[in-house]
């Protein structure tokens, strides 16, 4: 048996939630959750954005081969200029590139205007400026301005950026779906023991201080060798501070209002998903199924995530340390020059590589 604090209905959308976990069985015997009725809000927006980026990517990709083959630089590199030349070919190249710029680049152009309105220029601004500069300069060259068109760089950059954003949005939608599934697991009721020894299913929101609920066995399964019993609410954070003074890293698992100070004091605050909002807001991690054994799963997932962060940081740092100086002309005179357009393409490719590497985290649970 256990004594529980009053439980309020779980509130969704906590801004401080950094991790959610669901692994193993529940601690409190609970009935099905009606939280599923709230799941899925916003998912349609993500799905629509994924579909939009996917559609734009494939259509722009179809335009890429003819644009590449009609570009003078590509023709020169492949030695096929004479074979593909025909009257008005530069205007056909202009039309195809215009379609790629407007249709494929539309998300970046609209994102650019949105960022400007907010006064917060970001990635969309950078991409929009790059593709717009390439397009309008190339259009001017087509109609008589001296220079060499950049149509092939334009369409290649758009295709790669569409692919990167498509994969990014897929990852976001995947995370949203995972959270929706976790929401469906949240219990709305618990098994409370009545005075005569019988049990009843009651909504969690009706639990009061002193209520006794069924708790599954587990204190030996966890291998706990040291514990503090009958600690008063105001002493919990003091006990954690005492352990920290001994040089230990402390994780605190709690679900009540009086656990909030201890959750904040601990190096890792873990809140029971069915707990009070105060505890949930104070914690770093939320255990949706209320199973302390999930702490181990959280640590394993955190380590795997950290490894991916290090890998992606190493790749991004290595790329930028080499490509940016070369694009700035540091290798001029060596016979190996990377133009800013090529550097931009490789930058976009690095986004795709990072997104693909992060996707491998999806297999973490299946390998456990």
The yes-or-no verdict on residue 321 having pLDDT over 70 is yes
Please give the angle made by the CA atoms of 55, 60 and 66, to the nearest 5 degrees. Answer: 145
- Kindly state the tokens that stand for 320: 């930028």
pLDDT score, position 177: 63
pLDDT at residue 41 in the model: 42
> What is residue 320's predicted lDDT score, i.e. its pLDDT?
74
Whether residue 183 is predicted with pLDDT greater than 70 in this model: the reply is no
**Rounded (5°) CA angle 208-211-212:** 150
Enter the DSSP assignment of 254: E
> Please, are residues 57 and 162 in contact by the beta-carbon 8 Å criterion?
yes
Report pLDDT digits (tens) over 213-223: 776 555 655 56
Report pLDDT for 366.
54
Please give the residue that has the higher pLDDT: either 226 or 367: 226
Band the pLDDT of 58: cuts 50, 70, 90. Answer: very high
Ranked by mean pLDDT, which of 8-17, 25-34, 113-122, 254-263 comes out on top? Answer: 113-122
What share of the chain in percent tops pLDDT 70? Answer: 74
Question: Hey, what's the torsion of the CAs at 42, 47, 50, 56, to 10 degrees?
Answer: -120
Phi and psi of 2, rounded to 5°? -150, 150
- pLDDT of 63 > 50? The answer is yes
- Counting Cα atoms < 13 Å in the Cβ hemisphere of 55 gives 9
For residue 92, the model assigns a pLDDT of: 94
CA dihedral 192, 195, 197, 200 (to 10 degrees): -30
Is the pLDDT at 271 greater than 50? The verdict is yes
What percent of the chain is predicted at pLDDT more than 90? 18
| Mean residue pLDDT across the chain | 76
Mean pLDDT of 310-338: 77
Tokens for 251, please give them.
């994780």
pLDDT for residue 209: 82
Of the listed ranges 4-8, 55-59, 323-327, the one predicted with least confidence? 4-8
What pLDDT was estimated at residue 365? Answer: 59
> Alpha-carbon distance 220 to 225, whole Å?
9
295 pLDDT exceeds 90? no
- Answer yes or no: are the C-beta atoms of 290 and 204 closer than 8 Å: no
- In the block, residue with structure tokens 């990377």: 338
In 9-122, which ranges are continuous DSSP H helix? 43-70, 72-78, 81-84, 89-99, 105-118
> Per-residue pLDDT for 17 more than 60?
no
DSSP assignment string, 187-210:
-SEEEEEPTTS-EEEEEGGG--TT
The predicted pLDDT at position 121 comes to: 85
* pLDDT reading at 359 higher than 50: yes
What is the CB neighbour count within 10 angstroms for residue 263? 28
* Predicted local distance difference test score (pLDDT) of residue 21: 40
* Continuous H helices in the chain: 43-70, 72-78, 81-84, 89-99, 105-118, 123-142, 151-184, 236-245, 260-265, 277-282, 294-327, 340-359
The pLDDT, as a whole number, for residue 227 is 76
pLDDT band at 35, cuts 50/70/90?
A: very low
Per-residue buried b or exposed e for 126-136, using 16+ beta carbons within 10 Å of the residue's own CB: bbbebbbebbe
> What would the pLDDT profile of 77-128 be if each residue is shown by its tens digit?
788 877 888 888 889 999 999 999 999 999 999 999 999 999 888 888 888 9
- Please determine, for residue 45, whether its predicted confidence score (pLDDT) is greater than 80: no
Residue 215: predicted pLDDT: 60
CA 76 to chain centre: 42
- pLDDT one-digit tens code per residue, 338-355: 766 676 667 667 777 877
The pLDDT value recorded for residue 297 is 78
pLDDT band at 7 (very low <50, low <70, confident <90, very high): very low
Give me the pLDDT at residue 220, please. Answer: 56
């Amino acid at each position: 048996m256990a004594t529980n604090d009053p439980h309020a209905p779980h509130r969704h959308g906590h801004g401080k939630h950094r991790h959610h976990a669901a692994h193993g069985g529940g601690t409190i015997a609970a009935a099905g959750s009606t939280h599923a009725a709230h799941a899925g809000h916003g998912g349609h927006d993500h799905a629509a954005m994924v579909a939009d980026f996917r559609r734009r990517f494939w259509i722009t990709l179809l335009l890429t081969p003819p644009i590449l083959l009609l570009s003078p630089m590509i023709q020169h590199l492949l030695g096929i200029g004479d074979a593909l030349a025909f009257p008005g070919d530069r205007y056909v190249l202009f039309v195809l590139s215009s379609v790629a710029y407007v249709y494929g680049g539309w998300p970046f152009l609209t994102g650019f205007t949105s960022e400007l309105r907010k006064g917060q220029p970001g990635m969309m601004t950078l991409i929009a400026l790059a593709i717009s500069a390439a397009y309008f300069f190339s259009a001017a060259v087509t109609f008589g301005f001296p220079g060499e068109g950049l149509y092939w760089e334009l369409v290649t950059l758009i295709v790669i950026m569409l692919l990167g954003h498509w994969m990014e949005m897929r990852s976001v939608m995947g995370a949203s779906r995972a959270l929706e599934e976790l929401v469906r697991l949240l219990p709305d009721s618990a098994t409370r023991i009545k005075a005569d020894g019988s049990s009843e299913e009651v909504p969690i929101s009706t639990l009061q201080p002193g209520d006794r609920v069924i708790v599954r066995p587990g204190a030996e399964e966890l291998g706990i060798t040291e514990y503090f019993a009958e600690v008063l609410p105001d002493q919990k954070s003091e006990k954690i501070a005492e352990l920290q003074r001994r040089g230990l890293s402390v994780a605190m698992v709690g679900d009540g209002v009086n656990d909030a100070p201890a959750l904040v004091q601990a190096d890792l605050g873990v809140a029971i998903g069915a707990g009070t909002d105060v505890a949930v807001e104070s914690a770093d991690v939320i255990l949706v199924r209320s199973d302390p054994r999930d702490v181990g799963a959280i640590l394993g997932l955190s380590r795997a995530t950290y490894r991916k962060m290090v890998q992606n940081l190493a790749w991004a740092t290595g790329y930028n340390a080499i490509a940016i100086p070369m694009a700035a002309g540091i290798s001029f005179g060596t016979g190996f020059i990377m133009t800013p357009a090529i550097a931009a393409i490789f930058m976009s490719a690095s986004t795709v590589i990072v997104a693909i590497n992060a996707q491998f985290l999806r297999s973490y649970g299946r390998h456990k």
